[in-house]
Amino acid sequence: MIFSRGVYIVLFSFIFFTTKAQQWPASFEQLGSKLPTPNTYRTGSGAPGEAYWRQKVDYKIKVSIDDEKQVLTGTETIVYHNNSPDVLTYLWVQLDQNVRKEGNIKDVTNITGIAPQMSTKKIVRELGAYDYDGGFKIHQVTDNTEADLSYFINRTMMRIDLPVPLKSGEVYSFKMSWSYNLYDRMIINGRGGYEYFPEDKNYAYTVAQWYPRLCVYDDYEGWQNKQFIGDGEFALEFGDFDVEITVPADHIVSATGELQNATQVLSAEQQKRWTLAKKTFDKPVIIASQEEAEAREKNKSSETKSWHFKAQNVRDFAFATSRKYIWEAQAVKLPTNTVMAMSVYPKEANPLWANEATKAVKNALEVYSSRTFDYPYPVAIAVNAANQGMEYPMICFNGSRPNKNGKYSQRHVSDLVDVVVHEVGHNYFPMIVNSDERMYGWMDEGLNTFLELETKRERYPDLDTIWGSPKSMTVYHIRFDQWLDAPMTNPDITNFSGYSDYGQASAAMNVLRNVIMGKELFDKSFKTYANLWKFKRPKPADFFRVMEDASAIDLDWFWKGWFYHTAPVDVAIEEVKWYLLRDSSIQPKAKYGVQPNYFSLDETPDFAYREFRNLIDDDKIRSDFRSKSFYEITFKNAGGLVSPLVLQFTFDDNTTISETIPAEIWRYNESKVTKVFYFDKVLKSVALDPHDLTGDIDTRNNVFRMY
């Protein structure tokens, strides 16, 4: 652009005096070097590049549970496909159970303290003062010829040295055998373990992180072998699983994948019910009833059965087993797939789970599929487990039970819907859109919390729809602001993961959809991201870039503010000045609390036309503006996070209009801006963000009343 000298000086003076309080508009500086340089693996548009690759790991596992001693024993054959362009000389394996091994880094580094009053349970957990021999017992690591492989263990990671370097395109197979003691989740906090029911002396096992599993090797950082401390979850490779689970013969087993031997483990009646369920779309069909479960509780079998499951293209495998389980299933028709939605639960979860659980699975599948891609797996299972919420491919473990007398309230329903929808939703993020949970918790927890909230808005409008909204973040900023960490912070070092990993990213998606991009454009862009990266491994930069590339909106300021920093939205209406033309047709009334200022409109001077020959109709403009009220509004950014201005104007006849000003209004000055609005009516009041769309933490300064 070329300016004449005079115009340039005027423009420079405007920018200088507007920004003199702040030397550089930092929020609107591009992310630039904060994002990795695009390459053939990951493009500048955020899409996978033409050379993108990922490894594949297949598992064939046999596992058994000793129901008397609560010991899990397993053997596995692992087939590692090196699809990378690199030569590998060793493999890294995750040993997640070692997070509970004596001397583990979690317990050693936990900050502990004594309170004036503590429960026995709390002090036992606080000090780790329980009698439990934790961690994997590795019995053998061999190649396919049964020759021992060299390995060493560093806390929760095992390095296996390969006898011969594994070249690009090659496959390596090896075997492992192991065991570990399952733990009581009532005492020891963990994602897998068992729950004991003293009334009938039975156990329910929710089994997770139970087998040694390969670490991720990718184009971004090589081996993801960051130690598992407890909060940062998992980075895993896709592969195929063939798993045989041996348990007491009267157990019901639910697992990742499809059951291969139903005729051997189910009764004839249960097989008939299962066949019926596959054709039933309007309600759940009971496969294993409560009456049958109660009979199994009393007559404990001393024999065993092996349940055989297969799963393709999944990144993990989990299962649940108990003689206490009730099992129901319902077919869910999606545009390109029919899925069996299932619930598995003990009688202690009834009647709440019978009434609500499978329906919640179905609702999650339908809403998430409409926003991303059709659920590609054959089953989706919710398993009831006390005080738990954890996700795995095709199966999740969920709390929420009625009172002991069987009665439950709307709060119980809300708790169940929250946890089931959320954990089933994790099938999409990160089980399919396979982000690195160990490093970026918000990429699965935050995006999933957002879609959980969307599911509740669509299917459960009478339940709590606050959590995950911008409004839900205000309490963190008001009470814990100095301890907050940005979502880009590693999950293991965040003070409040509810804020950093879950709520803040979800709130951000709400602002992005409902205020900045609009619902239609956001939904198209979000679906683009999900489909580009399903069954692949996206990083934050990939998400940021896709959302911009698919929408034509520069969002660098937004990612910086919402994901790299913790400053809150707090915009104040500092001042409103009312202006009228000196010969205005509007006559101020005595009731108006704010009296108008008057200004004149002069003829446009000749020099303002420069080389143009056509002229402005000064008289017409003055005539048009005589009936207008002008309002110069000053907005102050008290919180530090730049934000769109969502405004509602109320006039003296009590009519209203709304207007949203994009956040770019702060691009010259992030502290204070003014903007003039003019109307045919006299303004009664102006409100900023009246519907809590932006997460403004202090709404006391959001309304200015003229009278």
**pLDDT tens digits along 344-372:** 999 999 999 999 999 999 999 999 999 99
Q: Give the count of beta carbons closer than 10 Å to the beta carbon of residue 41.
A: 16
CATH of the domain at 671: 2.60.40
- Alpha carbons 47 and 529: distance in angstroms, whole number: 8
The answer to the question of residue 541 being in a domain is no
The answer to the question of residue 27 being in a domain is no
**Position 13 pLDDT exceeds 80:** no
pLDDT class of 103 with cuts at 50, 70, 90: confident
The answer to the question of residue 183 being in a domain is no
The answer to the question of residue 19 being in a domain is no
Which H or E run contains 446? helix 442-459
| Cβ–Cβ under 8 Å, residues 523 and 517 | no
pLDDT class of 1 with cuts at 50, 70, 90: low
Q: Domain count for the chain, please give it.
A: 1
The answer to the question of residue 11 being in a domain is no
**pLDDT tens digits along 17-33:** 444 444 455 899 999 88
pLDDT class of 112 with cuts at 50, 70, 90: confident
Running DSSP on this structure, what letter comes out for residue 561? I
Give the gyration radius of the chain's Cα atoms: 30
The answer to the question of residue 598 being in a domain is yes
Least confident segment among 20-29, 86-95, 144-153, 270-279: 20-29
**pLDDT tens digits along 146-180:** 999 999 999 999 999 999 999 999 999 999 999 99
**Position 11 pLDDT exceeds 80:** no
| Cβ–Cβ under 8 Å, residues 286 and 327 | yes
147 or 707: which carries more pLDDT confidence?
147
Tell me the three state secondary structure of residue 130.
Answer: coil
DSSP 155-223: TTEEEEEEEEEE-TT-EEEEEEEEEEE--BTTTS--SSEEEEETTTTEEEEEE-S-S-EEPEEETTTEE
* Residue span of the structural domain in which 637 resides: 568-705
Least confident segment among 14-18, 168-172, 231-235: 14-18
pLDDT class of 634 with cuts at 50, 70, 90: very high
pLDDT at 16: 40
The answer to the question of residue 533 being in a domain is no
pLDDT at 25: 57
The answer to the question of residue 647 being in a domain is yes
**Position 655 pLDDT exceeds 90:** yes
Q: What is the mean pLDDT of the chain?
A: 94
> Considering the entire predicted model, what is its pTM?
0.94
**Position 10 pLDDT exceeds 60:** no
Question: Residue range 92-116: average pLDDT?
Answer: 90
